[in-house]
Each structure stands twice: as structure tokens, then as C-alpha cells.
A and B are shown apart, each in its own frame.
Chain A
Amino acid sequence: MPVRCEDVAPVLGDAASGAVPFDAATRLHIEHCLRCQAEIVQYRRVLRGLRAMRTQVLEPAPGLLPGILATIEEAGERRALRELIDGRRAAYVGGLAAATAAGVGGAIVLATRTRRAHRLAG
């Protein structure tokens, strides 16, 4: 069954970009089909134009850079504040834990002494 233009059409874009090699039947069709050859030329023009855009830059309005830097600075300050709060929180929790441990220890010592005093009195 001969290859038709409709069969070849989906691969012409890829073929123009060099991404997909032609199979023998497709190559044969294209070699004899001016319509498909013209399409490949058009795709190549599109791809060339798109690639050329890579080196072009669009100048943003002047306020963009200060805006980005201000956003980053704000985020940096928030992060520093959060780290400070987290550090203080850790110190606070550590202090609480130490105080609790000391309290429990004290209570144990007191209870032991009281029990010993009772035993001696008895």
C-alpha cells in the first residue's frame, strides 16, 4: 500500500527538527512529493524562528528586580525570625523539661527523706 501525504503529515515536524529519521517508505514518498517537501521547509522555518528566540530577551519594566529582591528579603527575614523562634522554643521546652526533672527529683528526695524520718520515728 503506497504511503500518502496524510500518513506522513504527523512526522514532518519531528523530521524537520531532525528528531526522527525517516523510514524507507516515508523517505521515498517525500522525495517524490512536492507538497510534503514544502511542508518540511515550512516546519524548518518555524523551528529556526523558535530557536532564534532563545537569544532574544524581553526587557521587563524597571520595577521587577527591586520587587523580586524585596520579596526574597522578606522571605529571608521571615525565615530568620522563624529560626529564632524555633531556637527560643527549643530553649524554653528544654528549660521546662529541666525544671520538671528537677521538681520530680526534689519530690523524690523529699519523699525518701520523709519516709526515712517516719521509719526512724516508728
Chain B
Amino acid sequence: MRHDLEALVAAAQAGDRSAFDDLVRATYIDSYTLAYRLTGDEDDARDVVQEAYLRAYRGLKRFRGDAQFSTWMYRITANCATTFLGKRTKNRHDELTDDLVGDEPALTVDPEASVDAAATRDRLQQALRRLPPRLRAVVVLRDVYDLPHESIASELGISESAAKVRLHRARRKLRADLVTMREPDEHEEGSADARAV
């Protein structure tokens, strides 16, 4: 698959439009997933992904193949999402924080995942959506997509130390949220045990 992508990139760089279309087909779901995780909104994610591929098309000759094409697309998508969220904040004159609530789009779930892991994942996704976008962007890029601090800082237009501070805050908030969400379940289990006794 990776070699296929490399061949497609080479062909697209040589001016083959259909090769670029194939690159889009091969990667757009991953790019959309990242855009959705960063924006928390389906429509916004669609806009971000369209803009990201347009930028990729215009800048394809500058892609030197140091990283994988998909990683390059993650960086462009993250950059577009940051610009998009920045504009949206400016337009609304308010801080986008805790109110990103909506239905999660259909999720392709690993069938072998255990019930407990699925519950943790659902809680984590809820907690992630409650994070302020600036913290969410850093933790998603670092802990989900494994991008280095340096790339994250450069794509988000912040310093590397600011990226590290945001990562620490985001992880702390996620942990605290997860603990808070688990506690009611544990209380229920506890009272069920008590009733059983």
C-alpha cells in the first residue's frame, strides 16, 4: 500500500491528475477522521478536508517524500483545521470550548475489542469532545497520530514548549474526565453489590 502511494505521488507530481484522484481516494477517510477529531463537527470537517486536499494539490511539487504521504496530509489537515477554528472563533467572538455536542458519526469498530475497552473508548471520545480545541488538537496529533512535538508546534503555529504544556493539560483533563465518568458506574456497581449482600 505504501509503495502504491509512493508511485501515485510520483505520478501525480509528474502531472498525472488521475493519480492525484487515486491518492485522494486512498487517504480521504483518514484525513476526514482527523479533521472531525479536531473540529468536533461533521460539516466543519468536510470543509477542512476539501481545503486540505486543495492545498495538497497546489503544493504537491514541494512534497519531497521525507515522510509518508498520509503523514504529510495529517499535517496539512491539522494546519487547515487550526486556520478554520481560528476564523470561526473570530467570527463568533467567543471561546469554543465545552459545547461541542452532537451525534458521533458511524464508527468502524474493531470486532475483537472487549466490552470494557469499548466503554473506555466511548468515554474517552466524549472527554475528547469536551476539551477546548487548542488542547484537543495537540493531544490528538501527539497521542493518536504520533506526530512529533516539533511538527505539531509548527502546524499549530505555537512554540514546542507551548505544545508540551498543552499536551500535559489535555492529558490531565482527559484523565480527570475519565475518572469522573467511571465513578458513577462504580458507585452503581458498589450499590448493586451492597444490595446483593
Chain B residues 8-49 with CB under 8 Å of chain A are 17, 20-21, 24-25, 28-30, 32-33, 36-37, 42, 45-46, 49
User: Quick one: which of A47, A56, A65 contacts B143, CB cutoff 8 A?
Assistant: A47
Interface assignment of B144: CB less than 8 Å from any CB of chain A: yes
Q: A42-B179, A52-B121 are in contact. Are A60 and B29 (CB under 8 A)?
A: yes
Q: Which residue of A lies closest to B123 (CB)?
A: A49
Interface assignment of B53: CB less than 8 Å from any CB of chain A: yes
Interface assignment of A114: CB less than 8 Å from any CB of chain B: no
A72-96 interface code vs B (CB 8 A; 1 in, 0 out): 1101100000000000000000000
Q: A42-B175, A49-B121 are in contact. Are A59 and B106 (CB under 8 A)?
A: yes
Q: A43-B175, A45-B178, A72-B57 are in contact. Are A52 and B117 (CB under 8 A)?
A: yes
CB distance from B48 to the nearest CB of A (A): 11
- Bound together, the chains give a CA A64 to CA B51 distance in angstroms of 12
User: Quick one: which of A51, A57, A67 contacts B29, CB cutoff 8 A?
Assistant: A57
Q: A46-B175, A49-B121 are in contact. Are A72 and B21 (CB under 8 A)?
A: yes
Say whether A71 contacts B50, CB under 8 Å.
yes
Say whether A53 contacts B105, CB under 8 Å.
no
Interface assignment of B88: CB less than 8 Å from any CB of chain A: no
Say whether A55 contacts B110, CB under 8 Å.
yes
Chain B interface main SS type: helix
- Chain A residues, Cβ within 8 Å of B143: 17, 47, 50-51
A interface residues, Cβ below 8 angstroms from B: 10, 13-14, 17, 39, 42-43, 45-47, 49-61, 64-65, 67-69, 71-73, 75-76
Given contacts A53-B125, A55-B110, A72-B20, 12 further A-B contacts (CB under 8 A): A13-B167, A17-B143, A46-B171, A46-B175, A49-B117, A50-B144, A53-B37, A58-B29, A68-B28, A71-B50, A72-B24, A75-B57
Please list 8 pairs of residues, one from A and one from B, whose beta carbons are closer than 8 Å in the complex, sorted by A's number: A42-B175, A46-B178, A47-B143, A49-B121, A52-B110, A56-B108, A64-B32, A69-B21
